Amino acid sequence: MKAILVREFGGPEVLRLEEVPTPKPAAGQVLVRIHAAGVNPYDTYMRAGTYAQKPTLPYTPGSDGAGVVESVGEGVKKVKQGDRVYTTTTLSGAYAEYTLALERQVHPLPAKIGFSQGAGVWVPYGTAYHALYHSAKAHASESVLVHGASGGVGSAAIQIARSMGLTILGTAGTPAGLEIAKREGAHQVFDHRKAGYQEEILKATGDRGVDIILEMLANVNLAHDTKLLAKDGRVIVIGNRGEVTINARELMARRASIQGFTLWGITSAEEADIHAGLIAGLENGTLRPIVGKELPLAEAARAHREILVPGAAGKIILIC
């Protein structure tokens, strides 16, 4: 089969398409014919060797795949040959024609969701769901600022927050991104490249502030976020690419909190909750993964370059 292999950590050029043996599922494992693989920012940090998790070299990147079960190992009961599935991490990597996964790493993909959309489910929607329900413990009567609403996590967060009944403010840095945020359900949108946009956000809340901020770029925004919070407000730090200084007094005055977030820290009960919620939302049409760009598997390096360029518009997907 064809797969992307990383033989050394480095720039996007270390992603090379190679011919490798197709894996065989052992007991408790599932072999999936991957049709589409989602590209996430953390795939680039991992490839560069700067991520908290360093895979053993050589490795095939990718946790988010969608495809059809090719075969199953002994004892597998959850899925059978021919089932459409999405993956939530794999044993052998999703940037490939076939991937090996544990039975618990594959989940049914509703019929109305295409493979490219299915490859945009786990990290973006799992993150948004976990952040809103479990970290922020959001209530329908609250407001949320999705700070970075045009990308994978942000667009998912808008759809989920809308289905929960929250009042949503979203930001993006381009007209196309602002359009996505609005179309997917944000009540008001703001351009995070425009000077003074934070004052516009505060004004839009009648100077009360927002209850929840889902933050995609904390090193740039956290100091200001603390001033945009309502009483008992909370910032959930999802994305961060550097250091930041804050004035803790802004938190004290509001009894506010800043919460670090990682999708990798979920419990199995939380994971079960997340998949039940996501699959229901995908089935009933409230969750609609946005495919921004589809590239052939051989162009994984280009995908890794483009995902870090500002101007997000949904997901970048590799067609395998």
**Does 220 interact with ligand NAP (rule: CB under 6 A)?**
yes
Residue in 25, 67, 93, 124 binding ligand NAP, rule: CB under 6 A: 124
SS (H, E, C) 164-203: HCCEEEEEECCHHHHHHHHHCCCCEEEECCCCCHHHHHHH
- CA–CA separation, 16 and 236 (whole Å): 36
Residue 313: CB atoms within 10 A of its CB come to 18
**Does 58 interact with ligand NAP (rule: CB under 6 A)?**
no
What binding mask, one character per residue, do residues 178-217 give for ligand NAP by CB under 6 A, x or -?
--------------x-----------------------xx
Q: Which is nearer to ligand NAP, 79 or 307 (CB)?
A: 307
**Does 132 interact with ligand NAP (rule: CB under 6 A)?**
no
Q: Which is nearer to ligand NAP, 179 or 283 (CB)?
A: 179
- CA–CA separation, 184 and 178 (whole Å): 10
Stretch touching ligand NAP by CB under 6 A, among 66-74, 89-97, 133-141, 306-314: 306-314
From the CB of 124, what's the least distance to ligand NAP, in Å? 6
From the CB of 77, what's the least distance to ligand NAP, in Å? 30
Residue in 25, 62, 185, 239 binding ligand NAP, rule: CB under 6 A: 239
Count the alpha carbons within 13 Å of 264 in the hemisphere toward its beta carbon.
6
Residue in 29, 60, 171, 205 binding ligand NAP, rule: CB under 6 A: 171
* Longest pairwise C-alpha distance within the chain: 61
Q: What angle do CA 231, 237, 243 make, to 5 degrees?
A: 110
Contacts with ligand NAP: how many residues (CB under 6 A)? 33
**Beta-sheet pairing, 143-147 with 210-215:** parallel
Q: Which is nearer to ligand NAP, 71 or 174 (CB)?
A: 174
User: In this structure, which amino acid lies at residue 48?
Assistant: A
Q: What angle do CA 320, 317, 101 make, to 5 degrees?
A: 60
**Does 159 interact with ligand NAP (rule: CB under 6 A)?**
no
